[in-house]
Amino acid sequence: MTTASVPASPDSVPVPAARFGDLLVAEWIKLRSLRSTYWALGAGALAVIAFNANAARVDAADHPRLDDGMRSQMARLALRDAFTDGSAMILVLAVASIGAITVVGEYSTGLVRTTFAAVPDRRALMAAKAALLTVVMTGYGALVAGASFASTQAILATRDAGVALTHPGAARVVCASALLAPVCALAGMALGALIRHSATTMVAATAVLLLIPSFITDRYAWTAAVKHAQPVNAWNRLADISYAHDPFTLVPRHQATAQGAWITFAAWAAVAAVVAIVAVDRRDV
């Protein structure tokens, strides 16, 4: 007498882990399906490029009235116009909002429950989010920084005051401005993973990335170290080719280095990605 075989319960069948490439594709679909992504990126890019172009227009208009001493500094002005402080603030806010949306958007709609049910490995899921965000924002930053440099130098070239990308310091300005995008986007993602509320996250991102650094002085050694460890200040160090040449703006012994600024960028990106992964992995939905 034979015993009929009992089919295995579906719950007993192990579910294969999602491949990292599949997670990247899924995150890409979610990111590009959000209308807010296109609005934020498009409006941010136009605002940054227009802001810088207007600064170049003003300097080009003032060029005939400059004395010989000021005209000798036109290369410095040209690189300052390539990516101004105001445009950097706009870029920071735009990309930080995108970084926050990648996490907060799913929590606000409840989609995160479906996501975690499909992909129980939260660490792999968040690593895919961070990796995709880094790639997309790096490309976006390169596009915006490159377009800003090209447009501003074309405007200044009408007065023979523009510089080429091969000019000393020009490539560093463009690279630093481009990399500011993924660094601040990852910071926004980390804050979104911690706070999980869109409005509060944006207020926190503005405070952490823009407001708090502006109140830190470089008069003392420890405050100078904290100030130089902020991403916007690191960008300013890399984008300002005349840094440390004005004895009235900085305490000489507390001045930042270009190498330290690059390290600050890398540290913020790495820490932000780790914070986002750990925060989502250890907290309940």
The two three-digit tokens of residue 48, written as one number = 């940054």
pLDDT exceeding 90 applies to what percent of the chain? 58
Q: How many helices (H) and strands (E) does the chain have?
A: 13, 0
The whole-number average pLDDT for the span 230-246 is 80
Contacts of 278 (CB under 8 A, 6+ apart): none
**Cβ neighbour number for residue 42 with a 10 Å cutoff:** 11
Mean pLDDT (the chain) is: 87
C-beta of residue 189 within 8 angstroms of C-beta of residue 96 = no
C-beta of residue 178 within 8 angstroms of C-beta of residue 141 = yes
Spatial separation of the C-alpha atoms in residues 152 and 79, rounded to whole Å: 9
What pTM was estimated for this model as a whole? 0.88
Comparing 153 with 6, which gets the higher pLDDT? Answer: 153
Among the listed ranges 88-97, 202-211, 243-252, which one has the minimum average pLDDT value? Answer: 243-252
Spatial separation of the C-alpha atoms in residues 3 and 166, rounded to whole Å: 81
Amino acid 243: pLDDT: 60
Spatial separation of the C-alpha atoms in residues 9 and 221, rounded to whole Å: 65
Q: Which of 19, 99, 132 is nearest to 276 (CA)?
A: 99
Question: Is the pLDDT score of 136 beyond 50?
Answer: yes
Looking up tokens 């160090």 gives: 237
Question: Is the pLDDT score of 245 beyond 80?
Answer: no
Amino acid 248: pLDDT: 45
Among the listed ranges 59-68, 103-112, 214-223, 248-257, which one has the minimum average pLDDT value? Answer: 248-257
C-beta of residue 44 within 8 angstroms of C-beta of residue 91 = yes
Spatial separation of the C-alpha atoms in residues 237 and 260, rounded to whole Å: 9
Spatial separation of the C-alpha atoms in residues 62 and 39, rounded to whole Å: 34
Task: Measure CA 261 to chain center.
Answer: 14
Q: What is the pLDDT of residues 168-186, one digit of tens each?
A: 999 999 999 999 999 999 9
Question: Is the pLDDT score of 73 beyond 70?
Answer: yes
Question: Is the pLDDT score of 125 beyond 70?
Answer: yes
